[in-house]
Chains A and B, each alone.
Chain A
Amino acid sequence: MQRRVFLASMLAVVVLGALVTRVIQNQYYYFAAYVILQYVVLATAWNILGGYTGYVNFGSAAFFALGAYTSVVLIKAAAAPLVVLVVAGGLVSGLLGLGIGYLTLRLRGVFFAIATLALAVVLQTMFINWEYVGGARGIYIIRPKTVPFFTSYVEFLFAVMVVLAVVAVTVAWWIENSRVGRGLAAIRDNEEAAECMGVPTLKLKLVATTVSGVLMGVAGAPFPYYVTYVEPSSAFNLDYAVNSLAMPMIGGTTTWAGPVLGAVLLGTAQQVATVTISSALNLLIVGIILVAFVILAPEGIIGLVRRVTKGKRG
């Protein structure tokens, strides 16, 4: 029953997204909504590893950028269509995810987190030194002139991101309500005990890191067409790493709704702030909100809401 409600509402989101493109004309809204949806995907992806499994990834930007640069290569080499880019970006980042999954064999807790940060810098350096994709200077990407069914390419990108966000959230929801999700929660709570209770910890961690990597890569794949100019410092921007962990932390890390809520709230606030204040100031606000939440409301908004409703009942 619950399953039907969830899937129906996901379908409704897609339909709504499609309808919106028939109604709204102002292109700015599509630009803004794209970014927010992209954060829904990133935050959801981060949360599968960070929130469900308890492994903090500081290198989200690396997975995102890997997806973006995979697209750059494919656009430049083969002028591949967007569907191919998304699939390829997901695959490449998924492979990197699988790789960091094996790192969990030796590295736990803070050491794992530091390793992901190091990984991001190493990858960024490699792209800075890779001339084919523009090196440190960056590279211009030309959007296809027209796209069927949509009045502008940005509307099309928006629609693609709606679908990707729905896919990401559905994957997270499925994991959460499956045996896999319960196994991941056991790993998060106590990895040694989980293994001794029959949970194949390595296998499940590999699933989590790979799925998380795939989704982050998928989020990055349309990025070159969105910005039309890709450079390492924008693709590997620390903002992605901070936001993709701040959003779940603020929304709540134990359910799929947490990262979605965090991404929509924080993402919208940032979009508004960028227009009305300044982009540096809006980052400051994100930082302060993040610190305030980890100190004061470690369970996020979802946790706060639960505490309040429970309090009323009891």
Chain B
Amino acid sequence: MFSVDLLLNAIIAGILLGGFYAAVSLGISVAFGLLDVVNIAHPVFVILGSYAAYAMNTSLGLDPIVAGLLFTPVFFALGVAVYRIYYNSFEKKGEESLRGLVFFFGILFIVEVVLLLQYGVDYRLVEAAYIGESVHIGPVGIAFRLLVPCLVGMGLTLALYLFLSKTFYGRAIQAVAQDSLALRLMGANPIRIKTLAFGLAIATASLAGALLIMIGPVEPSMNREYIGRVFAIAVLGGLGNIGGTFVAALILGVVESLTSTFYGPSWALAVSFGVLLLTLAVRPAGLFGR
């Protein structure tokens, strides 16, 4: 039943969840928002990250976050490879929009089925000493399995924000979104910059995946739930706007948490997809777009 404690707990849990959603959505915000690459397979890469962390955790007893960090170069390379294929097959020919979309849909499907063949439909989870712990502040309980992902998500957001605004390559990535002429004047090759950025976007999926499996058990088809979420967040946040993406992630986290607490978890997903549909229909530029 409704109570202030329940409400407070739901809001805090939502904010924590939101910090994690930011980590999942950053890659889409970069790929879709800055590069115009509609990578609907991003969530499946996140799941792949979860399984990588799972494999390391069960075989070597590695901490999931350490595993997630260790795998970022691998995911970066994967992203570079995927972008190369995408660029040569679609973007170069100017056929990126629809066929490119189907290409990523196919990738999504392949990765999901490969995971299914390897690990089956069972839910998998990781173990670490702190995962079951929690702290209590007054009536509000904060579970470490939510707090840690939120903090790491915030760290990732900050790191990406600083990289994009303060470094040469970061600014080059921002420039590629606006016009490639300015980029050429900077002396950078747009294709290389886009490859770098896409690799980076996929690299974030490694860490986000580790966070995902820390929050709860994971199975291969879970990526689909995140397709709507990440696009809702990226679009709501104003495409390519890192700060906006973070705020949008928090909003969605809180809305979902409230829905889940007061109406039941099975409605939470529909809320995020509903938000996406509404945003698309009413304000495609997002809350923080121009």
How long is the Cα–Cα vector from A207 to B44 in the complex, in angstroms? 34
Give residues of chain B (88-146) contacting chain A, Cβ–Cβ below 8 Å: 89, 95, 97-99, 101-103, 105-107, 109-110, 113-114, 116-117
A125 and B266 within 8 A (CB): yes
Chain A residue at minimal CB-CB distance from B37: A110
Give 22 pairs: A residue, B residue, CB < 8 Å, sorted on A.
A107-B280, A107-B284, A109-B98, A113-B101, A115-B281, A118-B276, A121-B224, A121-B273, A125-B267, A126-B270, A238-B109, A242-B106, A246-B106, A249-B102, A283-B113, A284-B113, A286-B109, A290-B102, A291-B103, A294-B102, A294-B106, A295-B103
Q: What is the bound-complex CA distance between A298 and B102, given in angstroms? A: 11
B225 lies within 8 A of chain A by Cβ: yes
A121-B269, A242-B109, A288-B110 given; A115·B280 CB < 8 A: yes
Residue numbers in B under 8 Å from A117 (CB-CB)? 40, 227-228
Q: Does A202 lie at the interface of the complex (its beta carbon under 8 Å from any beta carbon of B)?
A: no
Interface residues in B32-55 (C-beta closer than 8 Å to A)? 38, 40
CB contact between A114 and one of B102, B117, B280 (< 8 Å): that residue: B280
A113-B101, A125-B266 are known; give 20 further A-B pairs, CB within 8 A: A56-B98, A56-B101, A106-B280, A107-B280, A111-B280, A114-B227, A114-B231, A115-B280, A117-B40, A118-B228, A119-B273, A122-B270, A122-B273, A125-B267, A281-B113, A284-B117, A287-B110, A290-B105, A291-B107, A294-B103
Residues of A within 8 A of B (CB-CB), count: 39
Quick check: is A136 within 8 A (CB to CB) of the other chain?
yes
Question: Which residue in chain A gives the minimum CB-CB distance to B281?
Answer: A106
Please give, as numbers and ranges, the residues of chain B lying within 8 Å of A23 by CB-CB distance.
Answer: none
Q: How many Å lie between the Cα of A294 and that of B98 in the bound state?
A: 10
The dominant DSSP class at the B interface is helix
Q: Do B106 and A291 touch (CB < 8 A)?
A: yes
Q: Which residues of B contact A126 (CB under 8 A)?
A: 270
Check A129 for interface membership: any CB of B closer than 8 A. yes
* Chain B residues within 8 Å of A, Cβ to Cβ: 38, 40, 85, 89, 95, 97-99, 101-103, 105-107, 109-110, 113-114, 116-117, 221, 224-225, 227-228, 231-232, 264, 266-267, 269-270, 273-274, 276-277, 280-281, 284
Docked CA distance A58–B108 (Å): 13
* A contact residues around B105 at 8 Å (CB): 58, 242, 245, 290
Q: Nearest 7 CB-CB pairs, A to B?
A: A125-B270, A291-B106, A287-B110, A287-B109, A118-B273, A290-B106, A284-B113
Residues of A within 8 Å of B276, CB to CB, are 114-115, 118
- Please give, as numbers and ranges, the residues of chain A lying within 8 Å of B97 by CB-CB distance: 109-110
How far is it, in angstroms, between the C-alpha of A275 and the C-alpha of B260 when the chains are bound?
41
A168 to nearest B CB, angstroms?
21
Specify the chain B residue showing the minimal Cβ separation from A288. B110
Chain B: minimal CB distance from A75 (Å): 24
For residue B284, give the distance in angstroms from its CB to the closest CB of chain A. Answer: 6
Asked whether any CB of chain B lies closer than 8 Å to the CB of A141, the reply is: no
- Tell me the complex Cα distance, A111–B266, Å: 25
Q: Considering only CB atoms, which chain A residue lies closest to B117 in the complex?
A: A280
- Pairwise interchain contact A284-B114, C-beta atoms closer than 8 A: yes
Closest CB-CB distance, A281 to chain B, in whole Å? 7
Whether B101 and A106, one on each chain, are in contact in the complex, defined by CB atoms closer than 8 angstroms, is no
Q: Is the CB of B113 within 8 A of A280?
A: yes
CB-CB under 8 A from A298, the residues of chain B are: 95, 99
Contacts of A287 in B (CB 8 A): 106, 109-110, 113
A290 to B105 CA separation, bound complex (whole angstroms) = 9
* A113-146 with Cβ < 8 A to chain B: 113-115, 117-119, 121-122, 125-126, 128-129, 136
Which residues does chain A contribute within 8 Å of B280, judged by CB atoms?
103, 106-107, 111, 114-115, 118
Give the contacts of A244-275 with B (CB-CB under 8 A): 245-246, 249
Give the residue name and chain of the B residue nearest to A125 (CB). B270
For the complex, is A54 an interface residue (Cβ under 8 Å from B)?
A: yes
Question: Are the C-beta atoms of B269 and A291 separated by less than 8 Å?
Answer: no
What's the minimum C-beta distance from A166 to chain B, rounded to whole angstroms? 28
Inter-chain contact A106/B284, CB cutoff 8 Å: yes
Q: Separation in Å of the A280 CB from the closest CB of chain B?
A: 5
Interface membership of chain A positions 91-120, coded 1 if the CB is closer than 8 angstroms to chain B and 0 otherwise: 000000000000100110111011101110
Q: How far is the CB of A248 from chain B (nearest CB, A)?
A: 10
Give the distance to chain A from B80, nearest Cβ to Cβ, in Å. 17
Known: A106-B280, A283-B113, A290-B106. A295 touches B269 (CB 8 A): no
Chain A residues closer than 8 Å to B106, beta-carbon distance? 242, 246, 287-288, 290-291, 294
Contact between A56 and B102, CB atoms less than 8 A apart? yes
Q: Chain A residues near B40 (CB, 8 Å)?
A: 114, 117
List the B side residues contacting A111 at CB < 8 Å.
Answer: 280, 284
Q: B228 near A121 (CB under 8 angstroms)?
A: yes
What residues of A have a CB within 8 angstroms of the CB of B38 in the complex? 110, 113-114
Docked pose: A35 CA to B267 CA in angstroms? 32
Q: Which residues of A contact B266 (CB under 8 A)?
A: 125, 128-129, 136
B85 touches A295 (CB 8 A): yes
User: Roughly how many angstroms separate A136 CA and B95 CA in the complex, as a whole number?
Assistant: 40
What A residues does B231 contact at CB under 8 A?
Answer: 114, 118
**A129 surroundings in chain B (CB, below 8 A):** 264, 266-267
**CB < 8 Å neighbour of A294 from B99, B117, B228:** B99
In the complex formed, the residue of A with least CB distance to B32 is A110
